[in-house]
Amino acid sequence: MPNPQPLNQTREQITALDKDLLALLAKRRSLSLEVARSKEVDVRPIRDTQREKDLLARLVQQGKAQGLDAHFVLSLYQSIIEDSVLNQQAYLHGRANPDTQKPAYCIAYLGARGSYSYLAATRYCQRRQVEMQDLGCKSFDDIVQAVELGHADYGFLPIENTSSGSINEVYDVLQHTSLSIVGETTIEVGHCLLAKAGTSLSEIKTVYAHPQPISQCSRYLSQHPEFKLEYCSSSAEAMERVAQADDKSVAAIGSVEGGNLYRLEAIEDKLANQKVNQSRFIVVARKAADVPEQLPAKTTLIMATGQKPGALVEALLVLKAQDLNMSKLESRPIPGTPWEEMFYLDIDANLAGDAMQAALKQLERITRFIKVLGCYPSETVKPTQLNNSQLLIEPQSQLEKTAAEAPQTALLRYSKHYKPQATEISRGPLQLGTGQFAAIAQLKLPIEAAELEQLAKTVKACGFQAMIIDGLSRQSEPSQSLANIRHRLNQFDLCCILTVEHESELTAASQEADILLLSGKLMFNQALLMRAGSLPIPLILERNALASAEDYLAATETILSQGNQQLILCEAGINTFNNASHPSLDLASVVSLKADSHLPVLVNPSHLVSPQALPAQALAIKRLDADGIILSLDALGGTDKDSLASLAGLVEALYR
């Protein structure tokens, strides 16, 4: 065996090769812009997915001949194609709006250099090959004002995060501004623990961070109870405080790129609870932009439907009739107008298109208020996929089979494709999935036996069909057994729902409840979900505030796969940028769950909205065809006479 060449020589060869690879990638990007110029003349769509599939299949085959893994080649070229698509879109969008073309843009963003908003703005300018003059702001209002007054060309506003959901404060700002949305961009949020050079993990005592990263990294932080957490207004402020500190006992949560600006090093990375953690930003400007027809576009609008029953559903049916896809729905209370809300919609369509124009004309006739916030190129680039045959990873006998002979993917049990008709669940007075809207009260233990009996009588009189009992482990009175709780509720014709918050409670609760509610914090407990799925009792699965829609439906599938088909979904809020410690109601998920699943859907807004905003949110929940609402007596004023009277009025309004 020949002696290997010196390590330094090998590394020099790799360095030279990397330089050549970068030069080739730059040349490929330049050629992709030539493609965009051709498409500008011919007015052809940006993407040709069949050509992309043929290209990827050929590259995988060529890579295999070079000893390269198929998945490696596929992943590499999916990233290259995404970059090419976004660059072509940026070029054509700029050509369609020549008055916006400048050698430099002044960008207003939240925080200071190094914040995630700063990184998103930087990427936006780099893709358009212009310089960025940055203007850091302390609040979303300051960003909007800077653009309105002409101090900045564009403003960057974070609108949603894959793990934290929507940012309600930004939606509120959009309601009152004359600015238009002209673009969007999405960045990967890679949370790291940043400290001064040479610092070890054992030295860290205090961690500075914005509330949102603290929420998104809660699992990692729970493993380090010795850390003292200090909240900051932005990740940039957190990094700056560490940079200015005199000792090495402090660290910040932020990005590697941001840390480099403050000469901080990442001593721990991949802190986020979820592997995929992305933030989407919208770009606002004083003037609306034109979007060429060959670009995939989004139109964002706001509307108020008024108080007529079914008004929101009627509006959404307009979109369905025009075959328009609504990719996001958000609601916010209208200040000073009880029981009414403003709805924000993202629609995958070009504002200039015939279908979108027809929909707007119809919506103008049936809504009380409607306003287009902007039309802009969509930067959601779905990667082109290859099947196993194209990836060359199946046995040769399988490769020889035709597509018609290939086995079909199993249908997911929660989907309407698996079961077209709605699942109906009946437990005494509680009827779910039958088209009736249910009201369920929620109460925390401990409570005296006599008080529970009187409360059950009052709750039934208020119009509720069931009561959820929380805090089973906190009940101290021996006579107040689970059987007694169920008896007292059942005698007043109330369905008894017991909340399981700890795995140890599952067996006892399942023997005495009419229905079990699995707390959201148990949603990731695979073993418990499988145990619960084998029980012959209806289950309510509450969504974890940190769970994505995919996580939630995966947990649902786990339960159904064990045999229990009596499953009810419960949307109870997701964490957002606006307040990391206080989840926000996600009405878009209610729409998605009802559209994709045959299972009944409940919504619990009790801890998510103020008592003043609750009536409007409750009506919105009903209009979205949810099967019922959960109202916590403790969160909404307690069990005194006035609070219960208020809830009775709300329930009565929901049944009209």
pTM listed for this prediction: 0.64
Q: 620 and 430 in contact (C-beta within 8 Å)?
A: no
pLDDT for position 628: 93
Q: Tokens 């403790």 label which residue?
A: 634
Cα–Cα distance for residue pair 616/596, rounded to 1 Å: 25
- Condensed to tens digits (0 to 9), the pLDDT of residues 470-485 reads 988 766 544 457 888 8
- Condensed to tens digits (0 to 9), the pLDDT of residues 131-157 reads 999 999 989 999 999 999 999 999 999
Q: How confident is the model at residue 161 (pLDDT cuts 50, 70, 90)?
A: confident
Q: Which are the contacts of 605, defined by CB distance < 8 A and separation ≥ 6?
A: 573, 585, 614, 617, 618, 621, 629
Q: Tokens 């034109």 label which residue?
A: 290
One DSSP character per residue, 296-310 reads: -EEEEEEEE--SSTT
Mean pLDDT of 159-167: 76
One DSSP character per residue, 20-35 reads: HHHHHHHHHHHHHHHH
- Condensed to tens digits (0 to 9), the pLDDT of residues 324-353 reads 988 888 888 776 666 677 889 999 999 999
Bridge partner residues of 584 (DSSP)? 574
Continuous H helices in 251-322: 256-261, 311-321
One DSSP character per residue, 521-590 reads: GGTT-HHHHHHHHTSSS-EEEEPPTT--HHHHHHHHHHHHHTT---EEEEE--B--SS-TTS-B--HHHH
- Condensed to tens digits (0 to 9), the pLDDT of residues 548-561 reads 888 899 999 999 98
Cα–Cα distance for residue pair 108/140, rounded to 1 Å: 10
Tell me the pairing of strands 567-571 and 326-333. unpaired
Tell me the pairing of strands 206-209 and 192-196. unpaired
Q: 498 and 513 in contact (C-beta within 8 Å)?
A: yes
380 to 74, 83, 109, 122, 376: CA distances (angstroms): 18, 12, 22, 18, 12
**Mean pLDDT of the chain, nearest integer:** 86
Assess whether the previous peptide bond of 536 is cis (omega < 30° from 0). Answer: no
Tell me the pairing of strands 131-137 and 104-110. parallel
How much of the chain, in percent, has pLDDT values that exceed 90? 41
* Closest CA relative to residue 361, chosen from 318, 403, 297: 318
pLDDT for position 576: 57
Q: How confident is the model at residue 414 (pLDDT cuts 50, 70, 90)?
A: very high
- Condensed to tens digits (0 to 9), the pLDDT of residues 266-304 reads 999 989 877 777 889 999 999 999 999 889 999 999 998
